[in-house]
C-alpha cells in the first residue's frame, strides 16, 4: 500500500527552482532513503510534506487524503512527524518536557499521566536519552540533541517519520548506534521512514529503496544496489557534466 504520494511537486524561491516536478511514492512499512548533493531540495521536500512550506504546484497525499493545504499541526496529528536538520529543541525545557509537549499535542487521543510517563520512559530509552531526562535541552551535546529530535518526533505517535540528517556530525560509533536505534524504533512503533542522509553507507545499510534528487529534480530511484550502479547518480555526486564546463571561463 502507498502511504505517501508526492505528485509533480515544485517549489520556487524567487528565481530558484528548489523542487522541479518531483513525484515519489513511499510504501507502508519501508525505509526510504533520500540523497542528493547540497542544495538538491531534500529539506525543502520535507518542509512541504510536513506543512512548514506551501508547494508552488503539485500535491501530497497521505494515507489517501490530500494534505498539502493543511497546517503543520494538522499534518502532525494525521501521523507525519519530521526532525529538523538544524535541530530545534525547546532549549529552555528539560528533555522530558520536550518529549511530553510533543506527546500532549501530537497524539490524537489523550493519554493518562501514568501512560504518558510510561511512554516517555520507553521513548527516552529507545533514543538513548535515559540518563538525560532532567537535563535542560540547551545543555545537551549535538549527538544528544539529534536524538532528542527523534524522540520528540516519535512522541507525537507518527505513522511516517521524516528524518533530516540525524546522523550528520556524529562520530562513526554514534552513527552505528543511531542506525541500530532507528531500526529498533521502526519495528517497535510500526513506522514508515523517509530518511535524508549524506552518510551513504548508513543509507545503504538501512534503506529498502533510495531516491536521488539533483538540483530539484528526481534523477534516480531504486534499491541501494541500483543506485550504486547508476551512472547519473555517480555523475551528480562526483562528476561534472560537459554543459556545466562550457559555461565556465
Footprint of ligand ATP (CB under 6 A): 13, 16, 18, 36, 38-44, 85
| Contacted entry of ligand ATP, another protein, Mg ion, none for residue 158, CB cut-off 5 to 8 Å set by kind | none
Among 3, 33, 60, 100, binds another protein (CB under 8 A): 100
Q: Is residue 92 a contact residue for another protein (CB under 8 A)?
A: yes
Q: Is residue 43 a contact residue for Mg ion (CB under 5 A)?
A: yes
Strands in 57-62's sheet, in edge-to-edge order, are 16-27, 2-13, 57-62, 65-66
Candidates 5-13, 103-111, 192-200, 236-244 — which segment interacts with another protein by CB under 8 A?
A: 103-111
**How far apart are CB 187 and ligand ATP at their closest, in Å?**
28
CA–CA–CA angle 218, 220, 226 (5° rounding): 165
**How far apart are CB 50 and another protein at their closest, in Å?**
6
Residues of span 34-63 touching another protein by CB under 8 A: 50-52
Q: Is residue 136 a contact residue for another protein (CB under 8 A)?
A: no
**How far apart are CB 142 and another protein at their closest, in Å?**
17
**How far apart are CB 164 and Mg ion at their closest, in Å?**
6
**How far apart are CB 228 and another protein at their closest, in Å?**
33
Per this entry, what is the length of the chain? 249
Residues touching another protein: how many (CB under 8 A)?
Answer: 30
Nearer to ligand ATP, 95 or 218 (CB): 218
Looking up cell 538525560, which residue turns up? 132
Nearer to Mg ion, 18 or 60 (CB): 18
**How far apart are CB 35 and Mg ion at their closest, in Å?**
11
HEC secondary structure over the chain: CEEEEEEEEEEEECCEEEEEEEEEEEECCCEEEEECCCCCCHHHHHHHHHCCCCCCEEEEEECCEECCCCCHHHHHHHCEEECCCCCCCCCCCEHHHHHHHHHHHHCCCCCCHHHHHHHHHHHHHHCCCHHHCCCEHHHCCHHHHHHHHHHHHHHCCCCEEEEECCCCCCCHHHHHHHHHHHHHHHHHHCCEEEEECCCHHHHHHHCCEEEEEECCEEEEEECHHHHHHCHHHHHHHHCCCHHHHHCCC
Which whole-number Å values give the CA distances from 127 to 4, 57, 118, 147, 184, in the listed order? 25, 37, 14, 6, 10
Measured from each CB, the residue nearest to Mg ion is: 43
Nearer to ligand ATP, 100 or 197 (CB): 197
| Contacted entry of Mg ion, another protein, ligand ATP, none for residue 44, CB cut-off 5 to 8 Å set by kind | ligand ATP
**Contact positions vs another protein (CB under 8 A):** 50-52, 71-73, 76-77, 81-82, 84, 88-93, 97, 100-102, 104-107, 113, 152-153, 155-156
Amino acid at each position: 500500500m502507498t502511504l505517501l504520494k508526492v505528485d509533480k511537486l515544485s517549489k520556487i524561491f524567487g528565481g530558484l527552482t528548489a523542487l522541479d516536478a518531483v513525484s515519489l511514492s513511499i510504501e507502508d512499512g519501508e525505509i526510504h532513503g533520500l540523497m542528493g548533493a547540497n542544495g538538491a531540495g531534500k529539506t525543502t521536500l520535507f518542509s512541504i510534506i510536513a506543512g512548514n512550506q506551501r508547494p508552488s504546484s503539485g500535491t501530497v497525499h497521505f494515507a489517501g487524503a490530500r494534505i498539502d493545504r493543511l497546517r503543520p499541526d494538522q499534518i502532525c496529528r494525521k501521523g507525519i512527524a519530521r526532525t529538523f536538520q538544524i535541530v530545534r529543541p525547546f532549549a529552555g525545557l528539560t528533555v522530558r518536557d520536550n518529549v511530553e509537549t510533543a506527546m500532549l499535542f501530537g497524539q490524537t487521543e489523550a493519554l493518562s499521566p501514568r501512560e504518558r510517563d510510561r511512554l516517555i520512559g520507553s521513548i527516552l530509552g529507545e533514543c538513548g536519552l535515559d540518563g538525560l531526562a532532567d537535563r535542560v535541552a540547551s545543555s545537551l551535546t549535538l549527538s544528544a540533541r539529534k536524538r532528542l529530535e527523534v524522540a520528540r518526533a516519535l512522541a507525537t505517535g507518527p505513522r511516517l517519520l521524516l528524518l533530516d540528517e540525524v546522523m550528520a556530525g556524529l562520530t562513526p560509533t554514534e552513527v552505528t548506534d543511531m542506525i541500530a536505534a532507528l531500526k529498533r524504533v521502526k519495528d517497535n512503533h510500526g513506522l514508515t521512514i523517509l530518511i535524508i542522509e549524506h552518510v551513504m553507507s548508513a543509507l545503504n545499510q538501512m534503506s529498502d529503496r533510495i531516491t536521488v534528487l539533483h538540483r530539484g529534480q528526481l534523477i534516480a530511484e531504486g534499491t541501494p544496489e541500483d543506485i550504486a550502479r547508476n551512472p547519473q547518480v555517480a555523475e551528480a555526486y562526483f562528476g561534472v557534466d560537459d554543459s556545466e564546463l562550457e559555461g565556465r571561463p
